[in-house]
Structure 1
């Protein structure tokens, strides 16, 4: 039986996956920088924006919310939404996230301005977000 010696130093230096095209499938972990900036679409393929930022719970290390930039053009206009991260589904092949909501839904719901963020450390704000999206409450 032949053994394959794994050379992580070469993998880390080159960024190449030396174990085949699908060696990281299914995707279980991603860096924050690989998520921030990713497109978000709905199931019909409508562009719903991009992931502007991530909200991390410092008590347990989990990502609670993705901040989605919807409707802006070249960084101008539009509004931001705190969306429970559990609402986003990864489309590995297209390297984007799917949100099961329509464009009209996002146009009608409350969001916030890039220069006027809500009090993100106020538990009631995120409880309101979870209620609005119908997502389970994070534990505090």
Structure 2
């Protein structure tokens, strides 16, 4: 059932509702669609989005790989109606990822550091 209050306030100039971000396309700098935002990981203490987890490949969710991208690596492009990340498909294939059959241990800080180090080296973030 639609909620008349939240349906009217799902986006402002600076804010956007999480359900509106999920499913948004992610593109390379050459406007090639890389995947879509599946969900994001939020830091419990700060409330800031740490990673946007992008689904990549697969068919109807089967065989998909999930790539955690540092939120700071994404730039919203209103002309594309999606996020742009400075990665090629080849760089993305080499990036840290997981499947629904082999989920990461987000409590293991080594995993987060591996993600951050990959993107710092690849994108200079």
Per-residue deviation, 1:95: 1.9
Aligned residues: 117
Q: Is the radius of gyration larger for structure 1 or structure 2?
A: 1
Q: Which has the higher helix share?
A: 2
Give TM-score scaled by structure 2 length.
0.82
The whole-number CA distance in structure 1 between the counterparts of 2:6 and 2:97 is 41
The whole-number CA distance in structure 2 between the counterparts of 1:14 and 1:107 is 36
2:82 equivalent in structure 1: 96
The whole-number CA distance in structure 2 between the counterparts of 1:110 and 1:82 is 7
Instruction: Verify: 1:117 aligned to 2:110, yes or no.
Output: no
Which deviations, in whole Å up to 9, do the C-alpha atoms of 1:4-57 show, x marking residues without a partner? xxxxxxx948739xxxxxxx4xx3111111111111011111110001110000
Question: Bigger relative contact order, structure 1 or 2, given CA contacts below 8 A and separation 6+?
Answer: 2
Q: Is the 8 A contact 2:35 2:56 kept in 1?
A: yes
2:71 equivalent in structure 1: 85
- Among residues 32, 37, 60, which one is paired with 1:51 in the alignment? 37
2:91 equivalent in structure 1: 105
Per-residue deviation, 1:116: 2.0
Aligned positions of 1:1-140 closer than 5 A: 12=5, 15=8, 24=12, 27-134=13-120
1:8 equivalent in structure 2: none
CA 1:86–1:46 in 2, change beyond 3 Å: closer, same or farther?
Answer: same
For structure 2, the residue ranges without an aligned partner over 5 or more in a row are none
Give TM-score scaled by structure 1 length.
0.74
